[in-house]
Structure formats: C-alpha cells, structure tokens
Amino acid sequence: MVVLILEVALILVGLYATIVLRSLIKKVIGLGIVNSGIVILFVEFGSHTGSRAPILVEGITDVVDPVPQALMLTAIVIGIALTSLALVFAYRLHERYGTLDIGEIEHLSRAELEPPDKAHPDQGGHEEASE
C-alpha cells in the first residue's frame, strides 16, 4: 500500500511539474518523472506474482511477471525519444525568443503571427530551408 502511494505521488509530482511550471525545460523534466513513475508502477505490479527473476530454467517457480517489464523497456525507449525531441523544441524556441517561459513564448509567437493592427502577419519571412 505504501509503495503504491509513493508511486502515485511520484506520478503526481511529475504531472504537477508538467502542468503548472512555466519553463519549457522543467516541463520536460516533469514528463520524465511521470514516465519513471509509470515504469515503476508497472514493474512493481509485475512483482506481485513472485520474487525471482523470470529466467525460466528447470525447477524455478515463484518468478515475477515478465510481461510488464518487457513493456516498460519499450516505454523507456519511447520516453527517451520524446524527451530528446522535446528538448530540441525547447532549444530552438529559446534560440528564437530568448526565453524559456511558455506564457511569454506563446504571447510572442502569437504577436508574430497576428500583429495587433494592420501590419501583415509574418510567417513566411523567417522560414529557413528545412534541412
């Protein structure tokens, strides 16, 4: 029970960071924490069925459920891909706007797209070649 509460708490901490904090990087860290929390949740759930490593040789019983572990390997890999991509976005946005504050960036990018009055919306001018 205590373990379960701790796992849920870990996920909630990550969610808090992702939802409430304003820094692009801290949001990514938050996602990482959520991801880790879920990995621990799965692996710990799999361990309810036994206590030994699921290397099936003659005479072994009392093994943990290997399926959640196998799944979490996949989830970790996906998590790495997502984290690196999110960091690339954060880096590029910082390069462009000089800040990591999500509210400020949203404000600036919107002003760029639809200027308050008659000036033309700027979204073609800064485009670079895409590769």
Partner 1 sequence: MTLPLTTVLVLPLLAALASLLEKSVPRLAVSRPASLVAVAGAMAAAAFLSPHVFAADFPTMVVGGFPSGVGITLRLDGIALFGVGIVLTVSLSALLFSFADIRFGPLYYFFFMVMVAGMVGAILTTDIFNLFVFLEMFGIAAYILVAWSRTGHALIAGYKYLVMSSVAMAFYLVGVLLLYRVAGSFELDRIAEVVATADDRTRRLSTVAFILLAIGIGTRTAFVPYHTWLPDAHASAPHPVSAVLSGVMIKVSFLALLRLLFAASDARFGAVFLWLGAGTAVAAVVVALAQFDMKRLLAYHSISQMGYMLAALGAAAALSGKGAAAASLMHAGSHALFKSLLFLCIGMVIATSGERDLRKVVGTTAARSARLARRMPIVFACFLIGALAIAGMPPLSGYVSKKAVLYATHNVPVAYWMLQAAGVGTVASFIKLGSVFLARGSAGPSDAGDRSELTRDRYLPSPFVAVALLLLAGATLLLGVAPGRFAATVEALLAASAPTRSFAASTSASAPAISAPYTLNALAETAIVLAAGVLLTFGVRSRAGYRITALLRAPRVGLNAALVLMVAGFLVFYLVTV
Q: Quick check: 81 binds partner 1 (CB under 8 A)?
A: yes
> What is the spatial distance between Cα 70 and Cα 77, in angstroms, rounded to a whole number?
11
Using the rule CB under 8 A, is 117 a contact of partner 1? no
DSSP letters for 41-74: HHHHHHGGG-SB-----TT--SB--HHHHHHHHH
Residue 42 interacting with partner 1 (CB under 8 A): yes
Return contacts of 97-104, CB within 8 angstroms, 24+ apart: 100/23, 100/24, 100/25, 101/22, 101/23, 102/22, 102/23, 102/24, 102/27, 103/22
State in angstroms the smallest separation of the CB of 76 from partner 1.
Answer: 12
18 near partner 1 (CB under 8 A): yes
Query: Is residue 56 part of the contact set for partner 1 (CB under 8 A)?
Result: no
Give the binding site for partner 1 (CB under 8 A): 11, 15, 18-20, 22, 24, 27, 31, 34-35, 38, 41-42, 45, 67-68, 71, 74-75, 78, 81-82, 85-86, 89-90, 92-93, 96-97, 102-103, 105-106, 108-110, 112-114, 118, 120-121, 123-131
